[in-house]
Amino acid sequence: MKTIRLGSSNLQVPQIAIGCWRIHLAGRHDAELYIRTAIEEGAVFFDNADIYGNGKCEEILADSVQMSSSIRDKIIVQTKCGIRKGYYDFSKKHILDSVDGSLRRLKTDYIDILLLHRPDALIEPEEVAGAFDLLKKSGKVRNFGVSNHNPAQIKLLQKYIKQPLLANQLQFGIAHASMLSTGLNVNMMSDFANDRDGGVLDFCRLNDITIQAWSPFQYGFAEGVFLDNENFAPLNKKINELAEKYSVKNTTIALAWILRHPAKIQPIIGTMKIDRLRDCIKALDICLTREEWYGIYLAAGNKLP
């Protein structure tokens, strides 16, 4: 498994991360088999959240790896906090309580990376800073990041916190590529020039923040997958042509498209199928040409000026 440096840290992580969003929907046996296979393949980075399955996903991960000190040192655990039923909460108390809950469910005494989930409009950054300081000092959390934040929101946090933000988890893929389109259509009047994220792609590159791509095979807001979807016929035709050329599955090409970007994006894959996991890992060995990469971008319905 190829690795990348996470943000500005010295932490080397697998370039493909395992998403645990839906792991509670699989049977315990299937979940354990999948996670153990992922570890054997070198995919030892597990992305979780306190709200996934109302905490069950964290419990299942711990049970599946039979969490112990020897196992814990071999895997990287990332989880998130901040989303509550009907509202968001970045208060100091909630962050601290959420981490304690995650630690219990994960059966561990530390979290490798804690992400603040979706932005809290009522954020008091001084409270976040206080929570981060306590978590870092106690050893409960080793590194920090955010999810679904724009540059201004990150800069507001950075004004108060002492710890670097290593990651920003954003939805990104061939059919959800607005943060690319904005940069390609600078000074144009088309819809593709609309800036929906404040230039977050370039901002993260400039500030050594790793972008983690969630739902890389989805279109819209996780409305469904574009692979083998008749509504994306030109895109699938192009992907299938390249899959045949490289003797891989269409899943591999779709992920290779993300990995080709020089920002060293870390995709979070949510499949629970072992064969698809292995197809994703094969994407690390494919480097699409510029012509192929732009061909896929255009086949998805995107435009170049």
pLDDT tens, residue by residue, 35-67: 999 999 999 999 999 999 999 999 999 999 989
Q: What is d(CA 101, CA 50) in angstroms, rounded to the nearest whole number?
A: 8
* Encoded tokens for 161: 């916190």
Mean pLDDT, rounded, for 138-165: 98
- Residues with a known catalytic role: 52
- Binned at pLDDT 50, 70 and 90, residue 204 comes out as very high
**The model's pTM:** 0.95
Q: Please report whether residue 202 resides in a domain.
A: yes
Q: Please report whether residue 264 resides in a domain.
A: yes
What is the tally of structural domains in the chain? 1
- pLDDT score of 222 more than 90: no
Question: For residue 26, what pLDDT is reported?
Answer: 87
- pLDDT score of 7 more than 80: yes
Crossing angle between the packed helical segments 233-246 and 250-259, to the nearest 10 degrees? 90
Question: For residue 27, what pLDDT is reported?
Answer: 83
- pLDDT score of 221 more than 80: no
Q: Please report whether residue 305 resides in a domain.
A: no
Question: For residue 103, what pLDDT is reported?
Answer: 98
Contact between 110 and 142 (Cβ < 8 Å):
yes
CB atoms within 10 A of CB 22: 14
Q: What CATH number has the domain bearing residue 236?
A: 3.20.20.100
Q: Which are the contacts of 146, defined by CB distance < 8 A and separation ≥ 6?
A: 115, 116, 153, 154, 157, 165, 167, 168, 169
- pLDDT score of 254 more than 90: yes
Q: Please report whether residue 123 resides in a domain.
A: yes
Q: Please report whether residue 168 resides in a domain.
A: yes
Q: What does DSSP say about strands 45-47 and 76-81: parallel, antiparallel, or unpaired?
A: parallel
Structural domain of 215? 3-299
Question: For residue 218, what pLDDT is reported?
Answer: 94
Question: For residue 28, what pLDDT is reported?
Answer: 85
Question: For residue 193, what pLDDT is reported?
Answer: 87
Q: Please report whether residue 304 resides in a domain.
A: no
Q: What is the mean pLDDT of the chain?
A: 96
Question: For residue 190, what pLDDT is reported?
Answer: 87
DSSP 117-161: -S--TT--HHHHHHHHHHHHHHTSEEEEEEES--HHHHHHHHHH-
Give residue-wise pLDDT tens across range 82-130: 999 999 999 999 999 999 999 999 999 999 999 999 999 999 999 999 9
Question: For residue 201, what pLDDT is reported?
Answer: 97
Q: Give me the sign of the Cα torsion angle 82, 83, 89, 93.
A: negative
Q: Please report whether residue 270 resides in a domain.
A: yes
